[in-house]
Amino acid sequence: MFIFRLKRIDGLRACLPSTSTRRHHHRGGWFPSARYFLHSTHGNGRFRTPMATSLRTLNSYSSSSSSNENGSSKIDSADSYLSQLRAKGLTAEEAESISNALFNPANDGTKRSIINESIDVYISMKKRRTETGGESITNPGFYVRSIVRRQLLETGENNNPSSADPKSENQQVETVMQKLNGTPLPSCLQNNDIGPNELNEKCLIALSRCPNSMADNAIKAYARQKLRRKTNGTDGISNPSSYVMAVLRNIIAESPEFNPSSPMDSPENNGLENTSASVIEEESGGLTENTESPPMKRSATSNFFDSETTTPKPQMNQPQNQQTQSTHVTEGRKDNKTDLKLERATMGSVDECLSCLEKLEQPIIQLSGVGPKTESSFHKLGIYTLRDLLWHFPRSFIDRSKLQKSIHDVSDGDVGTFRLKVHADKARHNSVTCTDEAGNNVDVTFFYGRSRQGMAMVSAAMKNLCKEDIYSMIVSGKVKHSDRKVIGLFNPDIVVPSDQVDSLGIEAVYSLSSGLTQKKLIASVEESLVAAGELLSLLPESISDDALEKLRWPKLADALIIAHKPTSMAESGLDSPARQRIAFEELSMQQAQLALSRWKIKYFGISTDLQSKEVFTSWRDSPLVSAAVSSLPFELTPSQMQCLDDMWDDTVVNKSRMLRLLQGDVGSGKTVLAYLLGLGCIEARQGGGKVVSLLCPTQLLAAQHVRTIKEFASRLQGKSTKSQIQSIHVELLTGNVVGKSRDELLARLESISDSDAVFLIGTHALTTPDIVSRLMQLPSVTSRDNKGLALAVVDEEQRFGVRQRQALTSCSAHSLFMSATPIPRSISLKRSGLMDFTLLESESRKVETTIVSSGDLDKVLTVLGSKIDAGSKCFWVLPRIVRSAADGGNNDSNVMDRYKTLKQILGEERVCHIHGRMSEQEREEQLANFADPSSKAAVLVGTTVIEVGIDIPDSNILIVEDADRFGLSQLHQLRGRIGRAGSRQDLKCQCLLLSSTIDVDQDDSNSLTRLQILQKCNRGAEIADADMLLRGPGDMLGYHQSGMKSGFTVDPAIHWGLLEAATKFGRSFLQEPSKKDAVDGMSEDESRRSPPTNDTLENLLAEGKMTSFYDQTSASTSQGLALRIMMALFGEWKNDESNPLEAINTLQKLDASKGELAQHDQSIHAKIVAFCDGSNTFQIANTSSLETSIGLEEQVLPIKPHVAVLNYQEPKEDRLNLLGDDVMFIVLDVETTGLDDKSCHIIQLAAKVLGSDDEDDLFSEYILPPIDRIPKIIEELTGITDSFLREGGYDTALGKERETARDFRQVYNDFEEFCNKRAKGRQLVFVAHNAKFDIKMINGELRRWRLSEHAESAPVLGEIFSSSLDTLQLFRGRKWTSPPRPSSFSLSNLHSHVFNESATNSHNAVGDIKALERLLLSETFNGWQKAANGIHRPFIKVNE
């Protein structure tokens, strides 16, 4: 009450929260804006509450009331001055703005009179604009200061040095310089080309009294700025002395121990008068001198930033056009933003911000009332810290304040609020009949169980409802309809008297897990909001008040409160102003990180020296490339030449790295451009300067590229060129090139002659760590510093994971990605400007695409027969090789079954088949037979192995069975196999997509939509864009190639329109890459398909009324510190791919490259990095307890009981590092006859080298158990029958015939040999889902072995494996955000949950290890090795 009485005193309303910062809620009371959480004092850094501020201002107001009306009396404090301004009728914001701009206790009576007159002019102008409907004055301080400046110039009170006698001033300077002879200062001025009269007397005196290093740094800063302005053709520095003094004051501020009043480096005073900090202050700032404004007063929005300047302010004696030019950036901001560019961050401000961040990162268990059980419930929701709570927004809201007249207006199960007349005489023991305002009877019932506590709760609720003196109650709860005429309210949430209706409001409803209640979650969210408010109160608002007002957005701190606790339903939606404000801030941070990523990729670490003696500005001038073009068997199209021009500028001409996407349709000629660009990079000695790599997804495509480039190279080598490159070699590296062959290939690359060029073509083997490390060290021709590949080309980039692409491009000077249908992530990178883009236009033959029901297969076969008779050739593609157990074994949509069917219908000689399990020789034979014009083969049945690398011109029909199981990119690539150059023009090109989704009424999976897109579109670019819209843009900062990367607060469907403005806003500190570059690379169709924009935002940015706050990056500036803190606030510290630490480090490198890095910046940066690095931990439940228990558990219950009594090695403290190169993961699974290791047996053992695409790296053997028969339930579960084990048969998991199963000892020996051959000195890790079970069952078999007559040869698992990893524990401990935490962690459920499809051959050991491998290699579980380091369990080693 006292606060609200104070509000009535004139002049105090500014000190209390305004109406806009108070949020009313259904619980009553008010929640202040986050800006009011913390207010620092001017010197001691203590906190002040709004009450304290009010009382202090009251005293100031009283003390200032004795001032003269004209304000001519001296003003001792800023608070007194504020009170006087408020007494003139100015608002709090106006008074604060004018005080910041003009308050200076040193002003004399004349200047104070001029200021008061100028304020009166402002008040009159404001009144006139209000009456005429004109625009309001957005920056009162700037407006009044401009009037004061003009008045001072007219009256001569400005003490402009230019008005003084220049001759007299020069004499004073000469006198000072004579006294400075013998000191380092004159030579320092001369070395930096600064004239003797360029600086005035006071500036020279101040420089002489500072340490040599300080004076030298200040003079050099001025010299650099002068040279930069001269180079750029901009206006020079009008007042050099003020500039130098401003820089000097910044340097002194970083050295608080320096006292300029005492001589430092000068051995004697040299007759110069004593100079103190006041000289520097007087010369470089203050209205009494020549600067535009006085030193800033610290305001509530910048409590923890010093007000020293980082760049000089414009001078009063500048021409008017220069003044306007210098201040236009800040003119659009209100008072609290006018001088933000001049603020500096102190170490105290950094500590305060990091302390608040640390509070937000504290574990959820630190909250009051949260114990281990509640913590576990929070973890199920993905909430581990207070910051996670901040982003856990309500899923819905209930408007309790809206009263319903009739209960019939509310549907069954919905919540309604009613004013009910209670009939106490109709009360029963747990219910009472009431009447709503429409006269309907309403039964209010309470039931909380039959326990004593439940009965007591019912009694209390009934007593509260049926009060003797109150007959009208407000009841809110869920309405329950029934067959009876009376509708009821069961266990209503709120029951209050009617006079308390105003206490009801909007109630948030959060997603819960078992063990959590809404009350507990809301209380926890309140604590996180308080912590966030403390942090945001330390940081300036990034958007000006004027812009926020036009956008109708709240400030960020208020937006967080409103998002969780809105005052109306209009504030509760995802499109509400509060949620838009938060999403815009996060999008800006994402864009800032993207801009930094691009800068680091393209410019960081680039050598300033050209790598070759001569740089050809065009490929036409290059002897090697021009000769290669002329030797081609065809002419380049205009589009190809234009694309080559763009890529040539980006690689050979510009001093930057290339990261470019070449998008061209199937058969458009991308490969020849990669070949020509590779020659150019080798000739220009980019990177290592001798090797170009070309990564292909399949061996078929790799072999095709080898043939193509060899043909190009042979034609070129037949010509004489003036190039130093004399010969071109083509090497092939696939998974089949192993051992000695691989070593010899790498040795050839490392020892290649300087006059040779090599094209290294390969599959996934190129991305393995050992190959990448060797490629990275390829020696350079001209420099020791430049190593690696000259160019890395990734063909069909949509077929590779993000890490696979990055592994290869990390060891290359330039990177080129090629595809007809790029992945959504690449499209996003292209549109965002992070990746440069080149579109290769081409003319292709149109293919008629038709969607056909799978039920019409017979009709398709009939038509196909007639087409073949007419000379057509057909590709028939299916999703699987053999029948799948997941389909019940009844689906014949597989290669083997369809091959048999077509042979029966069309004839055996007319049908061929191909799939990935064939040997390379078998595949080549089938392809040759189909491609041979003299052959009768007309149909090739196969899997997607024919997607790329197949060029058979005569083929003109494509049939895709179960087409809904394929992606858009795959289908378009498959369609590219027909209608190629050289095909018969008399035959129509047709594509038939067979799918059962056409018969379904509702398609929830977008399968039919994908097929319809393919039917309408023939161009790859259109299909890729449609694919991105369907699947989402992916994670540009991380490794997700598709899906919606929404961060914490962004809903892509709702906030997509903010992206354009957020890109400009978040990247303001870095001109590269500009949005124009990204747009210029788009076609007209793509520009039309660009995302929608927020018109108000775009207009504000275009008109300069909303200038980006993040336009300075130095850590010691308010913008630079705020940028780092906000990236940390919105960053995902627990995920390596989007951890903001990388961006923060890059920000520091950017500052260093611009020469703007001071010691103070480095100190602040080090603190922030140390904090973020300490917070970068993978969340694993109970990791510490697991680590400490490993040693004890291994000793007490060893995995191999029989060696417990032997002398074994103690577990070492430096456990096996799973991130090292000396580790190999073996994924393993067993199928058994039961769960007991004593009575049950293993019937299948399967293992696979994780990540290998070599078929030889898969081990699968069946074991014949020593029992009469396999249990029926095991046969049904695994598909492994007793007859199969005893007699052999067709193995559906591997697609081949198997012989009789063998004894466990034979299988285990083969398994041990399999592992040892692949180890090659590396330590093997046993990886399994529920590894404890697999280890237990294998040890059970080994135990029987030891008890048999062959005991001497019995092995132990520890002889093969160094450690074991249980992925069940790994996945359970993961922090699940996207996708959400699964309901079950069984392998099959995990696979379905992550990939939205069932695992193939589930419950067969081969199917299970492949499913587990796919999970571990997926983007979802990126970084699992780091988490596994804390939970893997070492095997005990036996001493020999």
Is the pLDDT at 349 greater than 70? The verdict is yes
Neighbours of 1208 (CB within 10 A): 18
Is the pLDDT at 596 greater than 50? The verdict is yes
If you average pLDDT over residues 33-39, what whole number do you get? 35
Is the pLDDT at 1077 greater than 50? The verdict is no
Q: Kindly give, in sequence order, each residue whose CB lies less than 8 Å from that of residue 1103, ignoring residues fewer than 6 positions away.
A: none
Is the pLDDT at 1 greater than 60? The verdict is no
Contact 378, 384 (CB under 8 A): yes
pLDDT band at residue 1174 using 50, 70 and 90 as cut-offs: low
Q: Output the pLDDT for position 833.
A: 61
Is the pLDDT at 300 greater than 70? The verdict is no
pLDDT tens digit sequence for 883-926: 765 555 556 788 999 999 999 999 889 999 998 888 888 888 88
Q: Kindly give, in sequence order, each residue whose CB lies less than 8 Å from that of residue 333, ignoring residues fewer than 6 positions away.
A: 138, 139, 340, 544, 545, 546, 1107
Lowest mean pLDDT of 483-487, 542-546, 735-739, 1173-1177, name the range: 1173-1177
Q: Output the pLDDT for position 697.
A: 85
Contact 417, 429 (CB under 8 A): no
Amino acid at 968: L
Backbone angles phi, psi at 332, to 5 degrees: -75, -10
If you average pLDDT over residues 127-137, what whole number do you get? 71
* Beta-carbon-side half-sphere exposure of residue 440 (alpha carbons within 13 Å): 19
**What is the SS3 assignment for 692?**
strand
Is the pLDDT at 1074 greater than 80? The verdict is no
Q: Output the pLDDT for position 132.
A: 67
Is the pLDDT at 563 greater than 90? The verdict is yes
pLDDT tens digit sequence for 1256-1274: 899 999 999 888 788 888 8
pLDDT tens digit sequence for 1299-1337: 889 999 889 989 998 998 898 888 899 999 999 899 989
Beta-sheet strands, E only, within 498-550: 506-509
d(CA 822, CA 134) in angstroms, rounded, equals: 52
Is the pLDDT at 1091 greater than 60? The verdict is no
- Please tell me whether the peptide bond between 1073 and the residue prior to it is cis, using omega within 30 degrees of 0: yes
Q: Output the pLDDT for position 280.
A: 45
Q: Which residues in 1225-1256 are b (16+ Cβ under 10 Å) and which e?
A: bbbbbbbbbeeebeebbbbbbbbbbbbbeeee
d(CA 1280, CA 1283) in angstroms, rounded, equals: 9
* Structure tokens belonging to residue 1069: 């500190």
Amino acid at 525: V
Beta-sheet strands, E only, within 696-783: 727-733, 756-762
For residue 485, CA distances in Å to 441, 482, 742, 1317 come to 9, 7, 84, 79
pLDDT tens digit sequence for 823-867: 666 666 666 566 788 888 877 777 889 999 888 888 999 899 888
More confident: 1176 or 179:
179
pTM of the model: 0.55
- Give the angle subtended at the CA of 1374 by the CAs of 1373 and 1379, to the nearest 5°: 140
Q: Output the pLDDT for position 325.
A: 30
**String of DSSP letters for 181-229:** TTSHHHHHHHHTT--TTSS-HHHHHHHHTS-HHHHHHHHHHHHHHHHHH
Neighbours of 549 (CB within 10 A): 12
Residue 1220, judged by CB atoms within 10 A of its CB (0-12, 13-18, 19+), counts as exposed
Tokens 């292709």 -> residue? 844
Closest to 1085 measured CA to CA, from 674, 637, 663, 587:
663
How much of the chain is helix, strand and coil, in % rounded to 5?
A: 45, 15, 40
Is the pLDDT at 1184 greater than 50? The verdict is no
Contact 1040, 824 (CB under 8 A): no
DSSP 1269: -
Q: Virtual CA dihedral for 978, 979, 984, 986, nearest 10 degrees? A: 110
